């Protein structure tokens, strides 16, 4: 048995619970401690998931000497602060998406990881799913020829919470727009777009829905959208000169791929997830930490910063700044 990674989680919300379930799939990982702003929440979570230690503050959790890695599951505006605190406490960090509120924060986080010589990764779990890795394999094998277009959207409705709050750096772009952008990034092999343009409907200090186009060298285009008050279609398409790949809905948690040529499916693969899907990113953290890596080759520091710069650029076009971004207003 490999050395177990002993995890702690900061924040006791929805995604923290999903991640805790995901961790149960990994024989070489253990959820040892929970940190919350309130002891009762930490205790309740610990009781529900059989976690041995429950702390009444994020600082107390970060100080636990037995933890090897901490997962940050707080709202966007706290990612930078929480991450840097944990890195300074000597922990490897997996920080929820979007990595930060803006690129300046992302740079501070990466700087702290390098200074402390500790592992840091953005929890963009989609990048580690078998279906997404297989789609990248198909691209490398030339199954669709040259990639020319990507089409993807992530939109939901009928929810409440931090995504609607400007003080938490909410809005559709940061909450879910990062997923179609990630798909485009993977489809175009990590190339940076040369041009970015978009529109957003902004209400009460957040972008309720947005549509954006990324233009790549050679004419490749990604036509993407995000929404938090509109359900959208949720399959993803990568279209090439010879054929196209359908990443079956929801593309951010896909379990099936089709290769479509001239309107016909010529190849279909089902790749059922083992666990709820969050185990794959946690497994990658475990692998990297055991190998002494400071970043994952699949979700690099530079990539997280680049994508935050892209989100910044779109928000600049829309004149959308959050209350904590006084310098950007
Ligand atoms: N990867 C994914 O699939 C996925 C899915 C959903 C969300 N996310 C990301 O995960 C993060 C958390 O999202 P979530 O849906 O879990 O949110 P949530 O249910 O609202 O939980 C957030 C937790 O953060 C803590 N918190 C600290 N300050 C807070 C504040 N001012 N307002 C609200 N909560 C605060 C709370 O924990 P304590 O009270 O215990 O301190 C709360 O339970 C976000 O970055 C989000 O974008 C990722």
Superfamily of domain 5-123: NAD(P)-binding Rossmann-like Domain (3.40.50.720)
What would the CATH number be for the domain defined by 131-272+309-328?
3.30.360.10
Q: Residue 135 C-alpha to ligand 1 middle, in angstroms?
A: 30
Q: How close is the Cα of 113 to the center of ligand 1, in Å?
A: 22
User: How much is the pTM?
Assistant: 0.98
Q: Ligand 1 atom 19: the closest Cα is on which residue? A: 13
Among 9, 10, 11, which is best to mutate for testing ligand 1, by the most ligand atoms less than 8 A from CB?
Answer: 11
| Cβ neighbourhood burial of 141 (10 Å; 0-12, 13-18, 19+) | exposed
d(CA 40, CA 57): 11
Residue-wise pLDDT for 250-294, tens only, equals: 999 999 999 999 999 999 999 999 999 999 999 999 999 999 999
Specify the residue with its C-alpha closest to ligand 1, atom 30: 75
Segments in the chain below pLDDT 70: 1, 327-329
Residue-level pLDDT at 326:
76
Does residue 97 have an active-site annotation?
yes
* Catalytic site residue from 18, 24, 97, 118: 97
- Tens-place pLDDT, residues 295-328: 999 999 999 999 999 999 999 999 999 999 976 5
Closest atom of ligand 1 to CA, residue 76: 45
Determine the distance separating the centroid of ligand 1 and the alpha carbon of 76, expressed in angstroms. Answer: 8
Any residues with Cβ below 6 Å from ligand 1, and which?
11-16, 36-38, 41, 73-76, 78, 96-97, 123, 125, 161-162, 168, 175
> What residue ranges of the chain are covered by domains with CATH 3.40.50.720?
5-123
Q: Considering the chain, tell me which residue range(s) the CATH 3.30.360.10 domain(s) occupy.
A: 131-272+309-328
* pLDDT value, residue 3: 86
Determine contact, residues 245/144, Cβ cutoff 8 Å: yes
| Cα 94 to ligand 1 centroid, rounded to whole Å | 14
């Amino acid at each position: 048995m490999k050395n177990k990674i002993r995890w702690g989680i900061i924040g006791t919300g929805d995604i923290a619970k999903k991640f805790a379930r995901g961790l149960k799939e990994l024989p070489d990982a253990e959820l040892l401690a929970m940190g919350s702003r309130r002891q009762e929440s930490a205790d309740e979570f610990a009781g529900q998931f059989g976690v041995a230690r429950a702390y009444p503050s994020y600082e107390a959790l970060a100080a636990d000497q037995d933890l090897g890695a901490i997962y940050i599951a707080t709202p966007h505006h706290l990612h930078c602060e929480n991450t840097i605190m944990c890195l300074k406490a000597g922990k490897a960090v997996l920080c929820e998406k979007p990595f930060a509120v803006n690129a300046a924060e992302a740079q501070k986080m990466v700087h702290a990881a390098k200074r402390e010589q500790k592992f840091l990764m953005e929890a963009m779990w989609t990048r580690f799913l078998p279906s997404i890795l297989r789609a990248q394999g198909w691209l490398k094998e030339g199954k669709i020829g040259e990639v020319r277009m990507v089409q993807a959207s992530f939109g939901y409705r009928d929810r409440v919470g931090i995504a609607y709050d400007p003080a938490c750096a909410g809005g559709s772009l940061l909450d879910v727009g990062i997923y179609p952008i990630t798909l485009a990034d993977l489809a175009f092999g990590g190339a940076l777009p040369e041009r970015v343009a978009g529109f957003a409907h902004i209400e009460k200090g957040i972008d309720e829905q947005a549509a954006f186009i990324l233009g790549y060298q050679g004419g490749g285009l990604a036509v993407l959208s995000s929404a938090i008050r509109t359900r959208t279609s949720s399959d993803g398409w990568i279209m090439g000169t010879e054929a196209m790949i359908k990443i079956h809905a929801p593309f951010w948690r896909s379990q099936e791929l089709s290769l479509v040529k001239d309107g016909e499916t010529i190849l279909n693969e089902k790749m059922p997830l083992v666990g709820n899907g969050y185990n794959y990113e946690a497994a990658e953290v475990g692998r990297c930490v055991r190998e002494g890596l400071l970043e994952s080759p699949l979700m690099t520091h530079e990539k997280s910063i680049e994508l935050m710069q892209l989100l910044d650029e779109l928000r600049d076009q829309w004149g959308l700044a959050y209350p904590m971004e006084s310098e950007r207003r």
